[in-house]
Structure 1
């Protein structure tokens, strides 16, 4: 990806949503690079904070209402080349379902022990550290 293309594409906000001892993962209908399962995520719109984008994308994709707690970190994703901002979120209300079936085909609440089945390439270290701290195994 050229530097110019990176400037044009908006950063992606990913919602790292935990409830009990699980984290919400969604499976995209169309893979992004080698990614299939990931956190609810989408482009940050003009004038929108990463926290607002993470909560909006979660609602649009899964119907779940969440509250952003804190930004866990930012990186250029090694598989997609997109700038990713990871936001820790708590559930306010609702049950996660596939609402946007144009983008998603499945969701799962995964335990820390099961995450490697969904994300075999490993997680961004600040996300891994956050999940290890908040999820009991």
Structure 2
């Protein structure tokens, strides 16, 4: 069943987040205003080395006041492809230059409220270039064994949706080889 959008109007807009109200009608004829959060698209990179380890960052998220492991990720900038953004973010946030990135999985994490797109890529291997240039991203960068990822998820050491989607896809691909 398809909803009809009769129009939209911005409530708040800036470079990071935009809040809109959409005038919608549900299939039963009910009409109301629905909040829509419009966000820039996200690029994520799962870099895996030949020892079956994935490059991850230990970081604090002030909004939830939590620490957890995450894959390198960031917003896709104007004029940049998601693949370019993923490779750039790995280098900036970790100091490692990833091998060629290829699409791993695409996700829309909360399509009922936001239009954000998450483009998750995989790179096999990376070359260390030096310390991260983004100094405010993480406390440490490490190669984490894929074999331990499930237990880390169970312990809530990995909670980021984009990170979970990427890692679970890698684990699923390996399980079905």
TM over 0.5: yes
Partner residue of 2:48 out of 18, 26, 51: 18
TM-score, scaled to structure 2: 0.60
Check if 1:52 corresponds to 2:89. Answer: no
What CA deviation, in whole Å up to 9, does each residue of 1:101-125 have, x standing for no partner? 212111221122321323168822x
Partner residue of 2:106 out of 73, 85, 89: 73
Check if 1:61 corresponds to 2:101. Answer: no
Which is bigger in relative contact order (C-alpha 8 A, separation at least 6)? 1
Would the alpha carbon gap of residues 44 and 32 (structure 1) be closer, same or farther in structure 2, given more than 3 Å must change? farther
RMSD of Structure 2 on Structure 1 (CA) = 3.2
TM-score, scaled to structure 1: 0.74
For structure 1, which runs of at least 5 residues remain unmatched after alignment?
A: none
Contact 2:91 2:132 in 1 (8 A): no
C-alpha deviation, 1:89, in angstroms: 1.4
2:136 & 2:19 partners in 1: Cα distance?
Answer: 30
> How many residue pairs align between the two structures?
131
1:103 & 1:31 partners in 2: Cα distance?
Answer: 12
Return the index of the structure with the highest Cα Rg: 2
Contact 2:106 2:117 in 1 (8 A): no
Contact 1:69 1:90 in 2 (8 A): no
Q: After the TM superposition, which of the residue ranges 69-78 and 43-52 deviates more from structure 2? A: 69-78
C-alpha deviation, 1:36, in angstroms: 2.5
What CA deviation, in whole Å up to 9, does each residue of 1:73-113 have, x standing for no partner? 222269xx753221111224226755422121112211223
1:31 & 1:24 partners in 2: Cα distance?
Answer: 22
Structure 1 equivalent of residue 27 of structure 2: none
Q: How does 1:36-47 map to 2 (within 5 A)?
A: 36-47=68-79
Check if 1:128 corresponds to 2:163. Answer: no
